[in-house]
Chain A
Amino acid sequence: MNMNFDHSNTPQKRVAPPIPNKPGVGLKPTHYEDILNKNPDIAWFEVHPENYMGDGGPPHRYLEAIRNNYPLSLHGVGLSIGGAGRLNKTHLTRLKELERRYQPGLFSEHLAWSSHDEIYLNDLLPLPLTVETLNIVCDHVDEVQEFVGRQMLLENPSTYIRFDQNDMDEVSFLTEVSNRTGCGLLLDVNNVFVSATNHDFNPQDYLEAFPLEKVGEIHLAGHATETDDTGKPLLIDAHDRKVSDPVWKLYEQTMARTRGIPTLIEWDTNIPEWDVLYSEAKFAQEVMDRATAIKSDEKHAIAS
Chain B
Amino acid sequence: MPSHHKIQSRFADGLLNPDVETPKNLLGLGGEEPKKRYNVYRNNVTISLLESMRATFPVVLRLLGPQIFDPMATQFIREFPPTSPVLMTYGDGFPKFISTYDRVKQIPYLADVASCELLYLQTYHGKDADPIAIEALSTHAPETMAELKFECHPSARFFASKWPVGSIWFTNKFDDEVKPLNAERGGESVLFIRPQMEVIAHILAEDLHKFLSLIASNSSLGAAAEKVLTQFPEFDLQNALGAMFHFGLITKIH
Contact = CB atoms under 8 A, between A and B. Distances in A.
Interface stretch (B44-52, B106-114, B213-221): B44-52
Interface stretch (B82-90, B168-176, B244-252): B82-90
Nearest to A56: B128
A78 interface: yes
A230 B32 CA distance: 8
Interface residues of A, number: 58
Among B7, B38, B83, B85, residue most surrounded by chain A Cβ atoms (within 10 Å):
B85
A16 interface: no
B139 interface: no
Contacts of A127: 4, 7-8
Contacts of B40: 160, 226, 234, 236
A133 B2 CA distance: 12
Among A56, A57, A85, A227, residue most surrounded by chain B Cβ atoms (within 10 Å):
A57
A123 interface: yes
Contacts of B11: 125-126
B127 interface: yes
Interface string A55-88: 1111111000000000000000111100111001
Contacts of A55: 125-128, 154
B159 interface: no
A88 B126 CA distance: 23
A162 B27 contact: yes
B37 A123 contact: no
Given A57-B155, A122-B82, A128-B4, A161 B126 contact: no
B124 A58 contact: yes
B4 A136 contact: yes
Contacts of B37: 160-161, 198, 228-229, 234
Nearest to A113: B8
A277 B117 CA distance: 31
Interface string A102-125: 000000000001111111111101
Interface of A: 50-51, 53-61, 77-80, 83-85, 88, 90-91, 94, 113-123, 125-128, 130, 132-133, 136, 160-165, 198-200, 226-230, 232, 234, 236
| Interchain residue pairs A-B with the least CB separation, the first 3 | A78-B85, A54-B125, A84-B5
Given A162-B26, A165-B25, A198-B37, 19 more contacts: A51-B88, A54-B88, A56-B155, A57-B126, A84-B3, A91-B85, A91-B86, A116-B12, A121-B45, A122-B48, A123-B45, A128-B4, A130-B4, A161-B34, A162-B28, A164-B27, A226-B40, A227-B36, A230-B30
26 contacts: A54-B124, A55-B125, A56-B127, A57-B194, A88-B84, A88-B85, A91-B86, A114-B85, A118-B83, A122-B44, A122-B52, A123-B45, A123-B48, A125-B12, A125-B41, A127-B4, A127-B8, A160-B40, A161-B37, A164-B25, A165-B2, A199-B29, A200-B29, A229-B33, A229-B35, A232-B29
